[in-house]
Amino acid sequence: MNTNKILLKLSGEALAGDKKTGFDEATVIDVAKQVKAVLDLGKEVAVVIGGGNFWRGRTSENMDRVKADQIGMLATVMNCIYAADMFRSVGIKTSIMTPFSCGNMTELFNKDKAIESLKNGEVVFFAGGIGHPYFSTDMATVLMAIEIEADVILSAKAIDGVYDSDPKINPNAIKYDSMDIKDIVDQKLGVIDLASAVLAMENKMPMMLFGLNEENSIVNALNGKFSGTYINV
**CA-CA distance, 44 to 4, in Å (whole number)?**
6
Of residues 117, 133, 120, 128, the one with CA closest to residue 48: 128
Domain ranges of the chain: 5-232
Res 58: pLDDT: 63
pLDDT tens for 171-223 read 898 889 999 999 888 888 778 889 999 999 999 999 999 988 888 999 999 98
**CA-CA distance, 213 to 160, in Å (whole number)?**
8
Res 57: pLDDT: 66
Span 5-232 CATH architecture: 3-Layer(aba) Sandwich (3.40)
